[in-house]
Structure 1
Protein backbone atom coordinates (compact mmCIF):
# COMPACT_ATOMS: atom_id res chain seq x y z
CA UNK A 1 0.00 0.00 0.00
CA UNK A 2 2.70 2.47 1.04
CA UNK A 3 4.99 1.41 -1.82
CA UNK A 4 2.20 1.92 -4.35
CA UNK A 5 1.36 5.37 -2.95
CA UNK A 6 5.02 6.39 -2.96
CA UNK A 7 5.35 5.24 -6.56
CA UNK A 8 2.38 7.39 -7.62
CA UNK A 9 3.86 10.39 -5.78
CA UNK A 10 7.09 9.91 -7.73
CA UNK A 11 5.12 9.66 -10.98
CA UNK A 12 3.26 12.90 -10.22
CA UNK A 13 6.54 14.61 -9.27
CA UNK A 14 8.15 13.52 -12.55
CA UNK A 15 5.12 14.70 -14.54
CA UNK A 16 5.20 18.03 -12.70
CA UNK A 17 8.82 18.57 -13.73
CA UNK A 18 7.91 17.69 -17.32
CA UNK A 19 4.99 20.13 -17.25
CA UNK A 20 7.30 22.81 -15.88
CA UNK A 21 9.69 22.44 -18.81
CA UNK A 22 6.83 22.38 -21.32
CA UNK A 23 5.13 25.43 -19.81
CA UNK A 24 8.06 27.69 -18.98
CA UNK A 25 10.91 26.24 -21.03
CA UNK A 26 14.45 26.02 -19.73
CA UNK A 27 14.99 29.77 -19.16
CA UNK A 28 13.85 32.03 -16.31
CA UNK A 29 11.91 34.20 -18.77
CA UNK A 30 8.95 31.82 -18.63
CA UNK A 31 8.59 32.20 -14.87
CA UNK A 32 9.00 35.96 -15.21
CA UNK A 33 6.20 36.12 -17.78
CA UNK A 34 3.87 34.19 -15.46
CA UNK A 35 4.26 37.02 -12.94
CA UNK A 36 4.02 39.78 -15.53
CA UNK A 37 0.65 38.67 -16.93
CA UNK A 38 -1.50 39.41 -13.85
CA UNK A 39 0.63 42.50 -13.15
CA UNK A 40 -0.35 43.93 -16.54
CA UNK A 41 -4.05 43.28 -15.87
CA UNK A 42 -3.96 44.91 -12.44
CA UNK A 43 -1.86 47.86 -13.62
CA UNK A 44 -4.27 48.50 -16.49
CA UNK A 45 -7.29 48.56 -14.18
CA UNK A 46 -5.54 50.87 -11.70
CA UNK A 47 -4.56 53.23 -14.52
CA UNK A 48 -8.09 53.18 -15.96
CA UNK A 49 -9.68 53.98 -12.61
CA UNK A 50 -7.11 56.72 -12.05
CA UNK A 51 -7.98 58.34 -15.40
CA UNK A 52 -11.70 58.45 -14.65
CA UNK A 53 -11.10 59.66 -11.10
CA UNK A 54 -12.47 56.62 -9.31
CA UNK A 55 -11.35 55.69 -5.81
CA UNK A 56 -10.88 52.20 -4.43
CA UNK A 57 -14.25 50.65 -3.51
CA UNK A 58 -12.66 49.62 -0.19
CA UNK A 59 -9.52 50.88 1.47
CA UNK A 60 -7.12 53.35 -0.11
CA UNK A 61 -5.23 51.08 -2.50
CA UNK A 62 -6.77 50.26 -5.85
CA UNK A 63 -3.91 47.86 -6.57
CA UNK A 64 -4.63 45.84 -3.43
CA UNK A 65 -8.38 45.75 -4.05
CA UNK A 66 -7.93 44.51 -7.61
CA UNK A 67 -5.19 42.05 -6.63
CA UNK A 68 -7.38 40.21 -4.13
CA UNK A 69 -9.90 39.52 -6.90
CA UNK A 70 -7.78 39.13 -10.03
CA UNK A 71 -5.20 36.77 -8.52
CA UNK A 72 -8.00 34.53 -7.21
CA UNK A 73 -9.83 34.61 -10.54
CA UNK A 74 -6.62 34.00 -12.50
CA UNK A 75 -5.80 30.94 -10.37
CA UNK A 76 -9.26 29.47 -10.94
CA UNK A 77 -9.18 30.18 -14.69
CA UNK A 78 -5.68 28.77 -15.09
CA UNK A 79 -6.67 25.52 -13.42
CA UNK A 80 -9.93 25.08 -15.32
CA UNK A 81 -8.27 25.76 -18.70
CA UNK A 82 -4.94 23.96 -18.20
CA UNK A 83 -6.47 20.82 -16.73
CA UNK A 84 -8.86 20.68 -19.68
CA UNK A 85 -6.02 19.59 -21.98
CA UNK A 86 -4.23 17.37 -19.47
CA UNK A 87 -5.40 14.11 -21.08
CA UNK A 88 -5.01 15.06 -24.74
CA UNK A 89 -1.58 16.70 -24.42
CA UNK A 90 -0.22 13.71 -22.47
CA UNK A 91 -1.81 11.02 -24.65
CA UNK A 92 1.53 9.39 -25.51
CA UNK A 93 2.51 9.13 -21.84
CA UNK A 94 -0.76 7.45 -20.93
CA UNK A 95 0.34 4.35 -22.82
CA UNK A 96 2.70 3.59 -19.92
CA UNK A 97 0.92 1.39 -17.36
CA UNK A 98 2.27 3.34 -14.35
CA UNK A 99 0.86 6.66 -15.57
CA UNK A 100 -2.83 7.31 -15.11
CA UNK A 101 -5.02 10.14 -16.34
CA UNK A 102 -5.43 11.42 -12.78
CA UNK A 103 -1.63 11.69 -12.45
CA UNK A 104 -1.58 14.28 -15.23
CA UNK A 105 -4.31 16.24 -13.45
CA UNK A 106 -2.47 16.25 -10.13
CA UNK A 107 0.78 17.23 -11.86
CA UNK A 108 -0.79 20.29 -13.45
CA UNK A 109 -2.55 21.16 -10.20
CA UNK A 110 0.79 21.03 -8.36
CA UNK A 111 2.58 23.17 -10.94
CA UNK A 112 -0.11 25.84 -11.15
CA UNK A 113 -0.60 26.00 -7.37
CA UNK A 114 3.14 26.39 -6.76
CA UNK A 115 3.40 29.03 -9.50
CA UNK A 116 0.59 31.08 -8.00
CA UNK A 117 2.08 30.82 -4.52
CA UNK A 118 5.15 32.56 -5.94
CA UNK A 119 2.99 35.08 -7.82
CA UNK A 120 0.97 35.94 -4.70
CA UNK A 121 4.08 36.30 -2.55
CA UNK A 122 5.72 38.58 -5.13
CA UNK A 123 2.60 40.70 -5.61
CA UNK A 124 1.70 41.28 -2.00
CA UNK A 125 5.33 41.74 -0.96
CA UNK A 126 5.72 44.31 -3.72
CA UNK A 127 2.57 46.17 -2.66
CA UNK A 128 3.73 46.25 0.95
CA UNK A 129 7.19 47.48 -0.10
CA UNK A 130 5.57 50.29 -2.14
CA UNK A 131 3.28 51.25 0.77
CA UNK A 132 0.25 50.24 -1.29
CA UNK A 133 -0.82 47.59 1.24
CA UNK A 134 -0.40 46.63 4.85
CA UNK A 135 0.35 43.21 6.26
CA UNK A 136 -2.70 40.92 5.92
CA UNK A 137 -5.05 40.90 8.89
CA UNK A 138 -5.76 37.15 8.78
CA UNK A 139 -3.13 35.26 6.74
CA UNK A 140 -4.72 31.91 7.58
CA UNK A 141 -7.93 32.95 5.80
CA UNK A 142 -5.98 33.92 2.70
CA UNK A 143 -4.29 30.51 2.70
CA UNK A 144 -7.61 28.71 3.15
CA UNK A 145 -9.20 30.77 0.36
CA UNK A 146 -6.23 29.90 -1.88
CA UNK A 147 -6.60 26.18 -1.16
CA UNK A 148 -10.36 26.37 -1.73
CA UNK A 149 -9.75 28.05 -5.09
CA UNK A 150 -7.39 25.22 -6.04
CA UNK A 151 -10.03 22.71 -4.94
CA UNK A 152 -12.76 24.32 -7.03
CA UNK A 153 -10.48 24.80 -10.03
CA UNK A 154 -9.43 21.17 -9.84
CA UNK A 155 -13.07 20.03 -9.80
CA UNK A 156 -14.03 22.17 -12.80
CA UNK A 157 -10.78 21.31 -14.59
CA UNK A 158 -11.35 17.57 -14.16
CA UNK A 159 -14.80 17.78 -15.71
CA UNK A 160 -13.43 19.97 -18.49
CA UNK A 161 -10.70 17.40 -19.21
CA UNK A 162 -13.22 14.57 -19.60
CA UNK A 163 -15.61 16.62 -21.74
CA UNK A 164 -12.78 17.98 -23.90
CA UNK A 165 -11.43 14.48 -24.43
CA UNK A 166 -14.83 13.38 -25.69
CA UNK A 167 -15.47 16.45 -27.84
CA UNK A 168 -12.89 19.18 -28.38
CA UNK A 169 -15.63 21.66 -29.26
CA UNK A 170 -16.22 21.85 -25.49
CA UNK A 171 -13.40 24.39 -25.21
CA UNK A 172 -15.47 26.97 -27.09
CA UNK A 173 -18.48 26.49 -24.84
CA UNK A 174 -16.26 26.72 -21.77
CA UNK A 175 -14.89 30.08 -22.96
CA UNK A 176 -18.40 31.46 -23.34
CA UNK A 177 -19.33 30.35 -19.82
CA UNK A 178 -16.09 31.57 -18.20
CA UNK A 179 -15.91 35.01 -19.87
CA UNK A 180 -18.55 36.73 -17.67
CA UNK A 181 -16.72 35.67 -14.48
CA UNK A 182 -14.49 38.75 -14.73
CA UNK A 183 -17.56 40.94 -14.24
CA UNK A 184 -19.40 38.65 -11.82
CA UNK A 185 -16.59 38.03 -9.32
CA UNK A 186 -16.41 41.37 -7.53
CA UNK A 187 -13.30 42.67 -9.29
CA UNK A 188 -14.60 46.26 -9.53
CA UNK A 189 -17.04 46.45 -6.66
CA UNK A 190 -18.04 45.28 -3.19
CA UNK A 191 -20.78 42.68 -3.67
CA UNK A 192 -22.42 43.51 -0.33
CA UNK A 193 -23.00 47.08 -1.56
CA UNK A 194 -24.90 45.94 -4.64
CA UNK A 195 -28.74 45.98 -4.81
CA UNK A 196 -30.44 42.89 -3.35
CA UNK A 197 -31.59 41.81 -6.82
CA UNK A 198 -28.00 41.80 -8.06
CA UNK A 199 -26.72 40.02 -4.96
CA UNK A 200 -29.32 37.29 -5.45
CA UNK A 201 -27.72 36.52 -8.83
CA UNK A 202 -24.07 37.13 -7.92
CA UNK A 203 -24.08 34.80 -4.93
CA UNK A 204 -24.50 31.79 -7.23
CA UNK A 205 -20.99 32.42 -8.55
CA UNK A 206 -18.62 30.35 -6.38
CA UNK A 207 -15.58 32.41 -7.42
CA UNK A 208 -17.21 35.50 -5.91
CA UNK A 209 -17.26 33.77 -2.52
CA UNK A 210 -13.56 32.91 -2.88
CA UNK A 211 -12.75 36.55 -3.67
CA UNK A 212 -14.73 37.72 -0.66
CA UNK A 213 -12.98 35.13 1.50
CA UNK A 214 -9.61 36.47 0.35
CA UNK A 215 -10.61 40.06 1.10
CA UNK A 216 -11.83 39.17 4.56
CA UNK A 217 -8.43 37.62 5.13
CA UNK A 218 -6.51 40.66 3.96
CA UNK A 219 -8.49 43.65 5.23
CA UNK A 220 -8.91 44.26 8.94
CA UNK A 221 -12.55 45.41 8.94
CA UNK A 222 -13.89 43.84 5.77
CA UNK A 223 -17.12 41.95 6.48
CA UNK A 224 -18.98 40.36 3.60
CA UNK A 225 -22.71 39.76 3.77
CA UNK A 226 -22.45 37.58 0.67
CA UNK A 227 -19.70 35.18 1.74
CA UNK A 228 -20.73 31.59 2.36
CA UNK A 229 -17.62 29.46 2.84
CA UNK A 230 -19.50 26.17 2.59
CA UNK A 231 -20.94 26.90 -0.85
CA UNK A 232 -17.70 26.82 -2.93
CA UNK A 233 -16.29 24.02 -0.76
CA UNK A 234 -19.40 21.86 -1.16
CA UNK A 235 -19.60 22.55 -4.88
CA UNK A 236 -15.90 21.75 -5.30
CA UNK A 237 -16.25 18.46 -3.40
CA UNK A 238 -19.22 17.41 -5.55
CA UNK A 239 -17.43 18.32 -8.79
CA UNK A 240 -14.24 16.49 -7.79
CA UNK A 241 -16.18 13.35 -6.87
CA UNK A 242 -18.16 13.44 -10.11
CA UNK A 243 -15.06 14.13 -12.17
CA UNK A 244 -12.89 11.40 -10.64
CA UNK A 245 -15.74 8.87 -10.76
CA UNK A 246 -16.51 9.73 -14.39
CA UNK A 247 -12.82 9.44 -15.28
CA UNK A 248 -12.67 6.03 -13.61
CA UNK A 249 -15.71 4.79 -15.53
CA UNK A 250 -14.34 6.19 -18.80
CA UNK A 251 -11.00 4.47 -18.20
CA UNK A 252 -12.69 1.09 -17.70
CA UNK A 253 -14.73 1.57 -20.88
CA UNK A 254 -11.58 2.29 -22.88
CA UNK A 255 -9.92 -0.83 -21.48
Structure 2
Protein backbone atom coordinates (compact mmCIF):
# COMPACT_ATOMS: atom_id res chain seq x y z
CA UNK A 1 0.00 0.00 0.00
CA UNK A 2 2.85 2.38 0.79
CA UNK A 3 4.51 1.63 -2.55
CA UNK A 4 1.22 2.20 -4.39
CA UNK A 5 0.77 5.52 -2.59
CA UNK A 6 4.24 6.71 -3.61
CA UNK A 7 3.64 5.55 -7.20
CA UNK A 8 0.39 7.51 -7.35
CA UNK A 9 2.02 10.63 -5.89
CA UNK A 10 4.86 10.35 -8.41
CA UNK A 11 2.36 10.08 -11.28
CA UNK A 12 0.47 13.13 -10.01
CA UNK A 13 3.72 15.09 -9.72
CA UNK A 14 4.88 14.27 -13.26
CA UNK A 15 1.47 14.96 -14.78
CA UNK A 16 1.29 18.25 -12.87
CA UNK A 17 4.63 19.30 -14.35
CA UNK A 18 3.39 18.18 -17.78
CA UNK A 19 0.28 20.36 -17.37
CA UNK A 20 2.41 23.34 -16.35
CA UNK A 21 4.53 22.93 -19.49
CA UNK A 22 1.63 22.09 -21.81
CA UNK A 23 0.84 25.63 -22.93
CA UNK A 24 4.43 26.91 -22.79
CA UNK A 25 7.63 24.90 -23.27
CA UNK A 26 9.15 26.95 -20.46
CA UNK A 27 7.29 26.63 -17.15
CA UNK A 28 8.47 30.12 -16.12
CA UNK A 29 6.89 31.60 -19.25
CA UNK A 30 3.60 29.95 -18.33
CA UNK A 31 3.72 31.46 -14.84
CA UNK A 32 4.52 34.89 -16.31
CA UNK A 33 1.49 34.63 -18.60
CA UNK A 34 -0.71 33.80 -15.60
CA UNK A 35 0.62 36.86 -13.76
CA UNK A 36 0.05 39.02 -16.85
CA UNK A 37 -3.57 37.83 -17.17
CA UNK A 38 -4.23 38.72 -13.53
CA UNK A 39 -2.59 42.12 -13.94
CA UNK A 40 -4.66 42.84 -17.06
CA UNK A 41 -7.89 41.98 -15.26
CA UNK A 42 -6.94 44.10 -12.23
CA UNK A 43 -6.05 47.04 -14.50
CA UNK A 44 -9.27 46.57 -16.47
CA UNK A 45 -11.46 46.67 -13.37
CA UNK A 46 -9.53 49.64 -11.98
CA UNK A 47 -10.17 51.56 -15.20
CA UNK A 48 -13.81 50.49 -15.18
CA UNK A 49 -14.31 51.77 -11.63
CA UNK A 50 -12.46 54.98 -12.53
CA UNK A 51 -14.72 55.57 -15.54
CA UNK A 52 -17.89 55.20 -13.47
CA UNK A 53 -16.47 57.58 -10.90
CA UNK A 54 -15.50 55.11 -8.16
CA UNK A 55 -11.93 56.00 -7.23
CA UNK A 56 -11.90 54.81 -3.64
CA UNK A 57 -12.71 51.51 -2.01
CA UNK A 58 -16.29 51.04 -0.77
CA UNK A 59 -14.57 49.54 2.28
CA UNK A 60 -12.21 51.40 4.58
CA UNK A 61 -8.94 50.22 3.08
CA UNK A 62 -6.81 50.00 -0.05
CA UNK A 63 -8.84 50.16 -3.27
CA UNK A 64 -6.44 47.85 -5.16
CA UNK A 65 -6.62 45.24 -2.40
CA UNK A 66 -10.41 45.41 -2.67
CA UNK A 67 -10.16 44.69 -6.41
CA UNK A 68 -7.56 41.95 -6.00
CA UNK A 69 -9.60 40.18 -3.32
CA UNK A 70 -12.28 39.55 -5.94
CA UNK A 71 -10.05 38.98 -8.97
CA UNK A 72 -7.84 36.31 -7.38
CA UNK A 73 -10.80 34.27 -6.14
CA UNK A 74 -12.66 34.64 -9.43
CA UNK A 75 -9.68 33.61 -11.56
CA UNK A 76 -8.79 30.66 -9.33
CA UNK A 77 -12.39 29.40 -9.36
CA UNK A 78 -12.78 29.69 -13.13
CA UNK A 79 -9.33 28.27 -13.88
CA UNK A 80 -10.09 25.23 -11.71
CA UNK A 81 -13.38 24.67 -13.56
CA UNK A 82 -11.67 24.80 -16.94
CA UNK A 83 -8.75 22.59 -15.90
CA UNK A 84 -10.81 19.82 -14.31
CA UNK A 85 -13.54 19.90 -16.97
CA UNK A 86 -10.94 19.21 -19.67
CA UNK A 87 -8.98 16.53 -17.79
CA UNK A 88 -9.33 12.80 -17.31
CA UNK A 89 -11.83 11.93 -20.03
CA UNK A 90 -12.37 8.14 -20.27
CA UNK A 91 -11.49 8.32 -23.98
CA UNK A 92 -8.28 10.32 -23.47
CA UNK A 93 -5.27 8.54 -25.11
CA UNK A 94 -3.33 8.95 -21.85
CA UNK A 95 -5.79 6.55 -20.25
CA UNK A 96 -4.35 3.76 -22.40
CA UNK A 97 -1.30 3.65 -20.13
CA UNK A 98 -1.70 1.25 -17.24
CA UNK A 99 -0.61 3.39 -14.26
CA UNK A 100 -2.70 6.38 -15.37
CA UNK A 101 -6.27 6.69 -14.13
CA UNK A 102 -8.91 9.38 -14.07
CA UNK A 103 -8.25 10.44 -10.48
CA UNK A 104 -4.55 11.03 -11.19
CA UNK A 105 -5.26 13.19 -14.23
CA UNK A 106 -7.90 15.24 -12.41
CA UNK A 107 -5.61 15.77 -9.40
CA UNK A 108 -2.70 16.81 -11.64
CA UNK A 109 -4.78 19.36 -13.56
CA UNK A 110 -6.24 20.79 -10.36
CA UNK A 111 -2.85 21.08 -8.62
CA UNK A 112 -1.27 22.75 -11.65
CA UNK A 113 -4.02 25.38 -11.53
CA UNK A 114 -3.59 25.97 -7.80
CA UNK A 115 0.19 26.31 -8.24
CA UNK A 116 -0.20 28.89 -11.02
CA UNK A 117 -2.77 30.97 -9.17
CA UNK A 118 -0.87 30.88 -5.89
CA UNK A 119 2.37 32.03 -7.49
CA UNK A 120 0.51 34.71 -9.44
CA UNK A 121 -1.14 36.10 -6.29
CA UNK A 122 2.15 36.08 -4.35
CA UNK A 123 4.06 37.85 -7.15
CA UNK A 124 1.42 40.56 -7.66
CA UNK A 125 0.90 41.22 -3.94
CA UNK A 126 4.67 41.33 -3.32
CA UNK A 127 5.25 43.73 -6.21
CA UNK A 128 2.46 46.02 -5.02
CA UNK A 129 3.67 45.87 -1.40
CA UNK A 130 7.36 46.56 -2.07
CA UNK A 131 7.20 48.79 -5.16
CA UNK A 132 3.97 50.81 -4.97
CA UNK A 133 2.82 51.00 -1.35
CA UNK A 134 2.73 48.68 1.68
CA UNK A 135 -0.45 46.70 2.20
CA UNK A 136 -1.85 45.09 5.31
CA UNK A 137 -4.07 42.03 5.32
CA UNK A 138 -5.80 41.47 8.63
CA UNK A 139 -5.52 37.68 8.27
CA UNK A 140 -3.38 36.67 5.29
CA UNK A 141 -3.58 32.96 6.19
CA UNK A 142 -7.38 32.97 6.16
CA UNK A 143 -7.34 34.88 2.86
CA UNK A 144 -5.31 32.05 1.37
CA UNK A 145 -7.73 29.55 2.92
CA UNK A 146 -10.49 31.32 0.99
CA UNK A 147 -8.39 30.94 -2.17
CA UNK A 148 -8.26 27.20 -1.44
CA UNK A 149 -12.05 27.16 -1.04
CA UNK A 150 -12.48 28.97 -4.36
CA UNK A 151 -10.17 26.41 -5.98
CA UNK A 152 -11.95 23.44 -4.42
CA UNK A 153 -15.41 24.69 -5.41
CA UNK A 154 -14.17 25.21 -8.97
CA UNK A 155 -12.72 21.70 -9.04
CA UNK A 156 -16.04 20.18 -7.89
CA UNK A 157 -18.05 22.10 -10.50
CA UNK A 158 -15.50 21.16 -13.15
CA UNK A 159 -15.86 17.51 -12.14
CA UNK A 160 -19.58 17.67 -12.98
CA UNK A 161 -18.83 19.16 -16.40
CA UNK A 162 -16.16 16.49 -16.90
CA UNK A 163 -18.69 13.72 -16.21
CA UNK A 164 -21.14 15.31 -18.63
CA UNK A 165 -18.61 15.89 -21.42
CA UNK A 166 -18.39 12.31 -22.86
CA UNK A 167 -22.16 12.28 -23.46
CA UNK A 168 -22.29 15.68 -25.18
CA UNK A 169 -18.82 17.23 -25.68
CA UNK A 170 -19.93 20.46 -27.37
CA UNK A 171 -22.76 21.03 -24.93
CA UNK A 172 -20.51 20.51 -21.91
CA UNK A 173 -17.98 22.98 -23.30
CA UNK A 174 -20.66 25.59 -23.98
CA UNK A 175 -22.23 25.17 -20.52
CA UNK A 176 -18.82 25.39 -18.84
CA UNK A 177 -17.97 28.59 -20.73
CA UNK A 178 -21.42 30.03 -19.97
CA UNK A 179 -21.04 29.37 -16.24
CA UNK A 180 -17.58 30.94 -16.17
CA UNK A 181 -18.81 34.04 -18.02
CA UNK A 182 -21.85 34.25 -15.76
CA UNK A 183 -19.51 34.42 -12.77
CA UNK A 184 -18.24 37.75 -14.08
CA UNK A 185 -21.42 39.24 -12.60
CA UNK A 186 -22.82 36.75 -10.10
CA UNK A 187 -19.55 36.21 -8.24
CA UNK A 188 -20.12 39.61 -6.62
CA UNK A 189 -16.52 40.70 -7.05
CA UNK A 190 -17.66 44.17 -8.13
CA UNK A 191 -20.04 44.66 -5.18
CA UNK A 192 -19.96 44.76 -1.40
CA UNK A 193 -22.41 42.21 -0.01
CA UNK A 194 -23.22 44.31 3.08
CA UNK A 195 -24.33 47.20 0.84
CA UNK A 196 -26.61 45.12 -1.39
CA UNK A 197 -30.38 45.58 -1.04
CA UNK A 198 -32.30 42.64 0.41
CA UNK A 199 -34.32 42.20 -2.79
CA UNK A 200 -31.15 41.76 -4.87
CA UNK A 201 -29.25 39.52 -2.46
CA UNK A 202 -30.91 36.17 -3.45
CA UNK A 203 -29.73 36.73 -7.03
CA UNK A 204 -26.14 36.32 -5.83
CA UNK A 205 -26.47 34.26 -2.65
CA UNK A 206 -26.83 30.91 -4.51
CA UNK A 207 -23.25 31.20 -5.77
CA UNK A 208 -20.59 29.81 -3.38
CA UNK A 209 -18.00 32.11 -4.99
CA UNK A 210 -20.06 35.12 -3.87
CA UNK A 211 -19.76 33.98 -0.25
CA UNK A 212 -16.05 33.19 -0.63
CA UNK A 213 -15.21 36.63 -2.04
CA UNK A 214 -17.20 38.44 0.65
CA UNK A 215 -15.62 36.39 3.43
CA UNK A 216 -12.18 37.08 1.93
CA UNK A 217 -12.80 40.80 2.25
CA UNK A 218 -13.81 40.25 5.86
CA UNK A 219 -10.43 38.62 6.52
CA UNK A 220 -8.50 41.21 4.48
CA UNK A 221 -10.02 44.40 5.95
CA UNK A 222 -10.15 44.98 9.70
CA UNK A 223 -13.16 47.31 9.40
CA UNK A 224 -15.38 44.95 7.38
CA UNK A 225 -17.57 42.27 8.96
CA UNK A 226 -19.58 40.22 6.41
CA UNK A 227 -23.28 40.03 7.31
CA UNK A 228 -24.87 38.81 4.08
CA UNK A 229 -22.59 35.85 3.39
CA UNK A 230 -21.70 32.63 5.14
CA UNK A 231 -18.42 30.78 5.58
CA UNK A 232 -20.07 27.37 6.00
CA UNK A 233 -22.27 27.60 2.88
CA UNK A 234 -19.34 27.14 0.40
CA UNK A 235 -18.14 24.14 2.44
CA UNK A 236 -21.53 22.45 2.17
CA UNK A 237 -21.65 23.28 -1.54
CA UNK A 238 -18.20 21.76 -2.06
CA UNK A 239 -19.18 18.54 -0.27
CA UNK A 240 -22.47 18.24 -2.18
CA UNK A 241 -20.98 19.04 -5.59
CA UNK A 242 -18.06 16.71 -4.92
CA UNK A 243 -20.37 13.78 -4.18
CA UNK A 244 -22.52 14.49 -7.25
CA UNK A 245 -19.43 14.87 -9.43
CA UNK A 246 -17.86 11.62 -8.21
CA UNK A 247 -21.05 9.64 -8.82
CA UNK A 248 -21.61 11.19 -12.26
CA UNK A 249 -17.98 10.61 -13.27
CA UNK A 250 -18.17 6.99 -12.13
CA UNK A 251 -21.28 6.38 -14.27
CA UNK A 252 -19.69 8.09 -17.29
CA UNK A 253 -16.41 6.17 -16.94
CA UNK A 254 -18.23 2.84 -16.76
CA UNK A 255 -20.60 3.62 -19.62
CA UNK A 256 -18.49 5.41 -22.23
CA UNK A 257 -16.11 3.60 -24.57
CA UNK A 258 -13.85 4.62 -27.43
CA UNK A 259 -15.99 2.68 -29.93
CA UNK A 260 -19.09 4.60 -28.79
CA UNK A 261 -17.38 7.93 -29.37
CA UNK A 262 -16.05 6.73 -32.76
CA UNK A 263 -19.58 5.83 -33.79
CA UNK A 264 -20.63 9.43 -33.29
Q: TM-score range by the shorter chain?
A: over 0.9
Q: Tell whether the 8 Å contact from 1:94 to 1:100 is kept in structure 2 after alignment.
A: yes
Question: How do 1:62-73 residues align onto structure 2 when only pairs under 5 Å count?
Answer: 62-73=63-74
- The change in CA–CA distance for 1:76 and 1:123 in structure 2 (over 3 A counts) is same
Q: TM-score, normalized by length of structure 1?
A: 0.92
Give the distance between the partners of 2:58 and 2:186, measured in 1 at CA.
Answer: 15
Give the distance between the partners of 2:34 and 2:173, measured in 1 at CA.
Answer: 22
Aligned to 1:154: 155
1:173 to 172, 175, 189: 175
Q: How far has the Cα of 1:89 moved from its partner?
A: 10
Q: How far has the Cα of 1:163 moved from its partner?
A: 1.0
Give the distance between the partners of 2:85 and 2:42, measured in 1 at CA.
Answer: 26
Q: Tell whether the 8 Å contact from 2:143 to 2:219 is kept in structure 1 after alignment.
A: yes
Q: Tell whether the 8 Å contact from 2:217 to 2:224 is kept in structure 1 after alignment.
A: yes
Q: Flag structure 1 segments of 5+ consecutive residues without an equivalent.
A: none
Q: Tell whether the 8 Å contact from 1:192 to 1:199 is kept in structure 2 after alignment.
A: no
Deviations 1:14-36 (A, max 9, x none): 11111111133226332211100
Q: Would you say 1:36 and 2:36 are equivalent positions?
A: yes
Aligned to 2:196: 194
Aligned to 1:82: 83
Question: More displaced, 28-37 or 132-141?
Answer: 132-141
Runs of 4+ in 1 over 3 A off after TM superposition: 130-133, 252-255
Q: Tell whether the 8 Å contact from 1:64 to 1:127 is kept in structure 2 after alignment.
A: no
Q: How far has the Cα of 1:212 moved from its partner?
A: 1.1
- Count of residues in correspondence between the two structures: 255
- 1:22 match: secondary structure: coil
Q: TM-score, normalized by length of structure 2?
A: 0.89
Q: Tell whether the 8 Å contact from 1:185 to 1:211 is kept in structure 2 after alignment.
A: yes
Give the distance between the partners of 1:253 and 1:180, measured in 2 at CA.
Answer: 31
- The change in CA–CA distance for 1:62 and 1:240 in structure 2 (over 3 A counts) is same
1:207 to 206, 209, 216: 209
Give the distance between the partners of 1:214 and 1:43, measured in 2 at CA.
Answer: 20
Measured on the aligned residues, the alpha-carbon RMSD in Å equals: 2.0
Q: How far has the Cα of 1:219 moved from its partner?
A: 0.9
- The change in CA–CA distance for 1:133 and 1:107 in structure 2 (over 3 A counts) is same
Aligned to 1:12: 12
Q: Tell whether the 8 Å contact from 2:61 to 2:221 is kept in structure 1 after alignment.
A: no
Q: Tell whether the 8 Å contact from 2:166 to 2:256 is kept in structure 1 after alignment.
A: no
Q: Flag structure 2 segments of 5+ consecutive residues without an equivalent.
A: 258-264
Aligned to 2:118: 117
Give the distance between the partners of 2:248 and 2:107, measured in 1 at CA.
Answer: 16
- The change in CA–CA distance for 1:51 and 1:35 in structure 2 (over 3 A counts) is same
